[in-house]
């Protein structure tokens, strides 16, 4: 709403066309078929085995570690394939890392990403931990690449993150996707 005329700003009410952008990008890369979005008959979610207040929380992000020398990676930067990461990474969860986003699919016109806490609410999660909303944050953050390859995601990246979560005795994972 604008204060001047009390009218709704409809420019922000349109759905985010990330699927269209991804499909267009996929075709521009020379693939002969439009991108096929993953579909699952069985949703891979499970009920918690204990209350959240007794659970160790793991955080999975699709944001990339800042890489100096790999072009513009700041807020509103154009898609930057150079800065894309292709392997799962981990970082300590007790310090706030310098993560950036330059994904193909996010809405560069309306997304408010100047503040990293929008896409990595680590400080707030530490507050929630102190408040007892969950028992503790796991020792590492897990970076999940967004490669648009269902095979690589399901056969390599997801199993790697699952194994790391098991090593860290994670009870519940929060995926903070960009």
Q: Could you tell me the two tokens for 2?
A: 């604008």
φ and ψ at 92, to 5 degrees? -60, 140
Q: Could you tell me the two tokens for 43?
A: 């949703």
Kindly report the pTM of this predicted structure: 0.79
Question: Over pLDDT 70: what percentage of the chain?
Answer: 83
Picking from 51, 57, 54, 49, the residue whose alpha carbon sits closest to that of residue 138 is 57
Residues 68-89 have pLDDT tens digits of 888 777 777 777 778 788 899 9
Residues 11-68 have pLDDT tens digits of 555 555 667 777 777 788 787 777 777 777 887 778 899 999 999 999 999 988 888 8
Q: Domain limits of the chain?
A: 46-176
Q: What is the pLDDT of residue 105?
A: 63
């Amino acid at each position: 709403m604008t204060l001047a005329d009390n009218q709704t700003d409809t420019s922000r009410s349109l759905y985010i066309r990330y699927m269209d952008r991804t499909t267009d990008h996929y075709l521009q890369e020379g693939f002969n078929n439009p991108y096929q979005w993953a579909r699952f008959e069985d949703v891979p979610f499970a009920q918690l085995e204990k209350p959240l207040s007794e659970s160790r929380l793991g955080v999975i992000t699709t944001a990339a570690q800042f890489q100096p020398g790999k072009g513009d990676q700041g807020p509103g930067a154009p898609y930057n394939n150079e800065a894309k990461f292709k392997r799962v990474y981990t970082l300590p969860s007790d310090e706030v890392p310098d993560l950036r986003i330059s994904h193909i699919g996010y809405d560069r016109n309306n997304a408010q990403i100047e503040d990293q806490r929008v896409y990595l609410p680590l400080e707030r999660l530490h507050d929630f931990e102190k408040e007892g909303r969950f028992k503790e944050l796991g020792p590492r953050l897990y970076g999940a690449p967004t490669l648009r390859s269902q095979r690589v995601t399901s056969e390599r990246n997801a199993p790697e993150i699952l194994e790391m979560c098991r090593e860290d005795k994670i009870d519940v994972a929060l995926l903070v996707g960009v």
